[in-house]
Amino acid sequence: MANLPILQFEEKILETVERNPVVVIIGETGSGKSTQLSQMIHKRGYTKSGAIAVTQPRRVAAVSVSRRVAQELGVRLGEEVGYAIRFEDRTSEKTCIKYLTDGVLLRESLSNPELNQYSVIILDEAHERSLNTDILLGLMRRLIKKRSSNLKVLITSATLDGEKVSRFFGNCPILNVPGKLFPVEIFYSAERPKSYLESSFKTAIDIHVKEPEGDILIFMTGQDDIDKLVKKLEERVQSLEEGSCMDAIILPLHGSLPPEMQVRVFSPPPPNCRRFIVATNIAETSLTVDGVVYVIDSGYVKQRQYNPSTGMYSLDIVQISRVQADQRAGRAGRTRPGKCYRLYPSTVYHEELLDATVPEIQRSSLAGSVLYLKSLDLPDMNILKFGFLDPPSSESLEDALKQLFLIDAIDENGSITSIGRTMAELPLEPSLSRTLMEANEYGCLSQALTVAAMLSAETTLLAGRSKSMEKKRKHDPPSELPDGSGWGDHIQLLQIYEVWDQTNYDMEWCKDNNLQVRGMKFVRDVRKQLSQIMQKIAKGSLDVQTKERRKESREDYRKLRKALTVGYASQLAERMIRHNGYRTLGFKPQLVQVHPSCVLRIDDEGMLPNYVVYHELISTSRPFMRNVCAVEMPWVLPILKKLEKLNINRLSGGMVQSEEQTEGEKSSLPKKDVDAARPPDDRDSRIQAARERFLARKTKS
DNA sequence: GAGCACTGC
């Protein structure tokens, strides 16, 4: 805590906060803003009229920073200083400095929109621009008008992009606090390499042979490249002449590595040994590796993006932004002066890279966020005009509205329904919360809870699938994991959980079946949380127990699949007549295929089910549906009927609402009339054609 | 017959 740069600015900061409702604080890494700001403000007496909330984009940060602050203030964690993250609330009535994830603050604002328990709200690490932070920024701008006399908002950011945030908040003051990084010398490649894998390899070996001690951190884009580079480095290091240079340890570092492998980067290397850490952008912000002196930056990152016009996600390798490049370079200067090797020319850095990473809100499906905002009942609220720091496209917002309409969360005028209100209380994607509600009607809530929880953890479920592991598995005796009885992935996920449940949540069983222990524990926590919320909504009268020792019948699966059809009304697909390709039944039909990992059964003629719902569309080598479940035609018909009624102008409130625009909201992108952009009869004829195909099938069978 | 970066309620 000694000599943190921010402490020299204490008076200046407090004075500015005193005079202004909103202050932007630019504090570089090591400035101490995360631990010190809350303490200063507390000491100045602001906590007499309410607590201080400090948001963090990550759970671990909320926990570790609060622990540190409690220690510095000499209090027990959970008393004056505490934290709240999902599944864990370590606060009490005494708590006056509360660290929380931004998602938790959004949940709190659902039950208490004015957030009256807080006198100060600090949005920390706002430059990371998580979806939740962006929504909070918009909410704060509204809240500060309402509570101008008794609320202070501080927004901290590590980059110099404070101007924009300041403008967003009516030109509020910006304070700069220097960081405590050592200088990092930057080297550029003369030209872009043909293969950044090859180029990283050469640069790393070069450093190893020529430069003094210090670990090397290499930024790659994904697991595949990391594995390849690790292998190459190992081979070369072994072939280097003994004694010609120091020893070396090569460590991969990425998210799907089991935790025990991840923590290896935290144990210091033996003397006279250099570590090569080959990492994804997990090492950019989430994990800080000590001892790094050299950084090699490929200039690329793998990024997931959503295309609202197709409803499809893709995972693309894209150029990083300048903010990211600087962040990566900074990783070399934490303990002493360092060096950063950028594998691209300086003209690329200065002229080609975007200033900042495209914020998540412009890369995600917004159904959940739009539903959340609708449920807040903000006055004069037209979602297309909500004041976002960087507005998502109107196409993206309209896509969200259509999805919500199809699952009954909003009515044809775009107003939230009572179903929608209940859905918003559940920490799930709208499709899954809608499924839970429908399942409750059909008496299969327990099963639906399990499916929703399993899908929430989906990516962390399967252990890192290396190629060798995959091969080994094929030669092993067939896995004892259930197969979904042919109905698809949702049913399989349900069955897997129920088997695990019957082993009494045996961790060994998970390992034996190649399921990540961490993931399965998470599923259990989610399931419990969802059960509690559903119980609260229904006042405790629901059956949420997992079924013990009882064979699920065909009828149970049928009910569940029917509930899924209602929940996934905007994620439906119909098989082509003569082959196993599918056409989505959304607004713009897409030709897609069932992902090869899916467990659907084919009929006697080798055909897949006529109708399916899917959890997501992902475009990789081709467009695929992932996590697919067979459904029945009669359940689909009412949805097609509803599609006909869809009118985006009414949904977005364009005809009924005329609200004055406030400062900043003028920046919203112009609303594009989707219906007008297309021949008017196109949609009707398409739906008509789909109906005819239905009828044709009906008569055949 | 494919392959998934990272977070979070």
Q: Collapse the DSSP code of A250 into the 3-class scheme (helix H, G, I; strand E, B; otherwise coil) and give the result.
A: strand
The whole-chain average pLDDT of chain A stands at 85
Would you say residue A635 lies in a domain? no
Nearest Cα to Cα of residue A217 among A287, A282, A283, A273 = A283
Q: What is the pLDDT of residue A328?
A: 93
**Please, which positions of strand B sit below 7 A from a protein CB?**
1-9
Claim to verify: residue A217 and residue A161 sit in the same structural domain: no
A143 contacts A116 by C-beta, under 8 angstroms? no
Predicted confidence band of residue A674 (pLDDT cuts 50, 70, 90): very low
Residue A377, phi then psi, degrees to nearest 5: 55, 45
Would you say residue A64 lies in a domain? yes
pLDDT(A548) > 70: no
A52 contacts A119 by C-beta, under 8 angstroms? yes
Nearest nucleotide (C1') to the CA of residue A529?
B9
Question: Residue by residue, what is the 3-state secondary structure of A440-486?
Answer: HHHCCHHHHHHHHHHHHCHHHHECCCCHHHHHHHHHCCCCCCCCHHH
Q: Which of A358, A375, A405 is the last residue of a domain?
A: A358
pLDDT(A116) > 60: yes
| β-pair type (A292-297, A582-584) | unpaired
Q: What is the pLDDT of residues A603-634, one digit of tens each?
A: 888 899 999 999 999 998 889 999 999 999 99
**Contact between the CB of A254 and strand B at under 7 Å:** yes
> Is A235 exposed, middle or buried (CB count within 10 Å of its CB: 0-12, 13-18, 19+)?
exposed
Dist. CA A231–CA A237, nearest whole Å: 10
Number of domains in chain A: 3
Helix ranges, A346-476 (H) = 346-347, 367-375, 394-406, 418-425, 430-442, 445-456, 458-461, 467-475
pLDDT(A466) > 50: no
Q: What is the pLDDT of residue A477?
A: 45
Q: What is the pLDDT of residues A364-414, one digit of tens each?
A: 999 999 999 999 988 766 887 888 999 999 899 999 999 999 999 999 889
Dist. CA A570–CA A244, nearest whole Å: 63
Claim to verify: residue A200 and residue A63 sit in the same structural domain: no
Would you say residue A687 lies in a domain? no
Domain coverage including residue A145: 5-177
Q: Is the dihedral of CA A260, A265, A268, A270 positive or negative?
A: positive
**Contact between the CB of A200 and strand B at under 7 Å:** no
Claim to verify: residue A152 and residue A299 sit in the same structural domain: no
Q: Which of A302, A334, A358 is the last residue of a domain?
A: A358
Claim to verify: residue A173 and residue A49 sit in the same structural domain: yes
Would you say residue A603 lies in a domain? no
Would you say residue A457 lies in a domain? yes
Claim to verify: residue A138 and residue A197 sit in the same structural domain: no
Nearest nucleotide (C1') to the CA of residue A624?
B2
Nearest nucleotide (C1') to the CA of residue A360?
B7
Would you say residue A193 lies in a domain? yes
Between A74 and A511, residue with greater pLDDT: A74
Dist. CA A544–CA A531, nearest whole Å: 6
Would you say residue A607 lies in a domain? no
Nearest Cα to Cα of residue A415 among A364, A378, A368, A361 = A378
Q: What is the pLDDT of residue A507?
A: 86
**Contact between the CB of A130 and strand B at under 7 Å:** yes
Claim to verify: residue A95 and residue A225 sit in the same structural domain: no
pLDDT over 70 for what percent of chain A? 88
Predicted confidence band of residue A476 (pLDDT cuts 50, 70, 90): very low
Q: What is the pLDDT of residues A168-216, one digit of tens each?
A: 999 999 999 888 788 999 999 998 888 889 999 999 999 999 899 899 9
Dist. CA A498–CA A495, nearest whole Å: 5
Dist. CA A216–CA A341, nearest whole Å: 10
HSE-up of residue A514 (Cα within 13 Å, Cβ side): 14
Claim to verify: residue A443 and residue A547 sit in the same structural domain: yes
> Could you tell me which residues come within 8 angstroms of residue A633 by beta carbon, excluding any fewer than 6 positions away?
A610, A611, A694, A697, A698
Claim to verify: residue A113 and residue A58 sit in the same structural domain: yes
Claim to verify: residue A151 and residue A216 sit in the same structural domain: no
Claim to verify: residue A112 and residue A195 sit in the same structural domain: no
**Contact between the CB of A101 and strand B at under 7 Å:** yes
Would you say residue A32 lies in a domain? yes
Q: What is the pLDDT of residue A683?
A: 45
**Contact between the CB of A626 and strand B at under 7 Å:** yes
Query: Which residues of A5-48 form beta strands (DSSP E)?
Result: 22-27
- Taking the stretch 437-466 of protein chain A, residues with Cβ within 7 Å of any atom in nucleic acid chain B are 456, 459, 465
**Contact between the CB of A278 and strand B at under 7 Å:** no
| β-pair type (A338-342, A184-188) | parallel
Dist. CA A319–CA A325, nearest whole Å: 10
CA at A595, C1' at B1: how many angstroms apart?
Answer: 9
Q: Is the dihedral of CA A673, A677, A651, A538 positive or negative?
A: negative
Predicted confidence band of residue A547 (pLDDT cuts 50, 70, 90): low
Claim to verify: residue A465 and residue A346 sit in the same structural domain: no
Q: Is the dihedral of CA A391, A653, A677, A303 positive or negative?
A: positive
Q: What is the pLDDT of residue A685?
A: 54
Q: What is the pLDDT of residues A584-607, one digit of tens each?
A: 998 788 999 999 888 888 888 889
pLDDT(A255) > 50: yes
- Taking the stretch 565-624 of protein chain A, residues with Cβ within 7 Å of any atom in nucleic acid chain B are 595-597, 618, 620-622, 624
A323 contacts A245 by C-beta, under 8 angstroms? no
Dist. CA A6–CA A25, nearest whole Å: 10
Claim to verify: residue A25 and residue A112 sit in the same structural domain: yes
Q: Which of A147, A177, A207 is the last residue of a domain?
A: A177
> Which CATH number covers residue A226?
3.40.50.300
Q: What is the pLDDT of residues A424-464, one digit of tens each?
A: 999 999 999 999 999 999 989 999 999 999 999 876 666 54
**Contact between the CB of A473 and strand B at under 7 Å:** no
**Contact between the CB of A428 and strand B at under 7 Å:** yes
Predicted confidence band of residue A659 (pLDDT cuts 50, 70, 90): very low
